[in-house]
Structure 1
């Protein structure tokens, strides 16, 4: 089964769409896992109900997201060309973006509103990102053709 799935992936997902698909999947998985872990910690379970700390200070997971996006930026600026579309680069990008978006409400309000009603902004932003990414990936050939057509408005219809 896994061999057939890999073959279908190789045959039907284009080289330029692969990093997008991986980043989108990493975003969705990271968002879901992060929400589950923070809920688990918030309810007083787990090894530390305070989350990640350093020197007695709580570190928000958007910090990890910023570091991941910084690493992806370094690969884009200075990395080898074969690393630009590497699956790990795409996964790091998607995961880093999810960690930041998950705490967007905190970053907008500069208050820890993660579990407050205002924290819903982060959930809405993440779900919108997942939905829009899925809508794009579901119809990549259409969107590429639409972009080509819109970039040349003087073309006649076929």
Structure 2
């Protein structure tokens, strides 16, 4: 176990990433537990409202992210300073992304259906951090051989190609696959070659004159949403709590 810890975490300098991911997940989980207790009127916790102003927890989250981020940039990847900066940054990110929907809508949609987007963003962020921890690098440059890494043209071409795939996935209305595809190019490739979502910029630009393609994408989106939207909604509600009626 000690050997594995050194080879996979300490030697490549991944301990700060591990600490940041752990702090992020724990902070988010603790925040959701506390907010659900406040909503139910249980426990000692209450909203912070000095002078009648409701201070959302993304505010201390921004402060923690700022302190942790600048501390990490100013320091190295090892030592207690790097570890402390990673924990602060992870905690701050957990607080901020828990209220991602509020920042997006500039409105208190925490306990509404729109507020569940925060859960999806947190899940996606956790998945990306876990992939990075496992050794995946953005835009697929980790798949190059040592000889290819020495060839700058090949490396730049690989990065640009994977970036194009991720952008195509985004334009086709598949933001989750686009973000994950930045780390795992195969995901972006699948999203890029398949039909676009009906309301995506790609569909609006290329499908109006192709009624068969438009009919196929509408049908595929309908079946996909019917199969997965309910499950995704149940997971969001289980983690973050059901919206208010």
Task: Please report the TM-score for the alignment, with normalisation by the length of structure 2.
Answer: 0.52
- Quick check: 1:19–1:85 contact (8 Å CA) kept in 2? no
Instruction: Measure the CA separation in 2 of the matches of 1:119 and 1:93.
Output: 23
Equivalent position of 2:62 in the other structure: 66
In terms of fraction of residues, the more helix-rich structure is 2
Equivalent position of 2:22 in the other structure: 25
Equivalent position of 1:105 in the other structure: 101
After superposition, the Cα gap between the structure-2 partners of 1:109 and 1:84, relative to the gap in structure 1 and judged at 3 Å, is farther
| Higher RCO by CA contacts (8 Å cutoff, separation 6 or greater) | 1
Query: Please, which moves more after superposition, 38-47 or 7-16?
Result: 7-16
Deviation for aligned residue 1:135: 2.1
After superposition, the Cα gap between the structure-2 partners of 1:84 and 1:43, relative to the gap in structure 1 and judged at 3 Å, is same
Alignment of 1:124-135 (within 5 A): 124-135=120-131
Deviation for aligned residue 1:144: 6.3
Which runs of structure 1 show a deviation greater than 6 angstroms over 4 or more consecutive aligned residues? none
**Are 1:10 and 2:2 matched, yes or no?**
no
Unpaired runs of at least 5, structure 1: none
Equivalent position of 2:158 in the other structure: none
Unpaired runs of at least 5, structure 2: 156-245
Equivalent position of 2:113 in the other structure: 117
Deviation for aligned residue 1:52: 2.0
Instruction: Measure the CA separation in 2 of the matches of 1:37 and 1:45.
Output: 9
Deviation for aligned residue 1:137: 1.4
Instruction: Measure the CA separation in 1 of the matches of 2:15 and 2:59.
Output: 27
After superposition, the Cα gap between the structure-2 partners of 1:68 and 1:74, relative to the gap in structure 1 and judged at 3 Å, is same
Equivalent position of 1:46 in the other structure: 43
- Quick check: 1:68–1:92 contact (8 Å CA) kept in 2? yes
Task: Please report the TM-score for the alignment, with normalisation by the length of structure 1.
Answer: 0.78
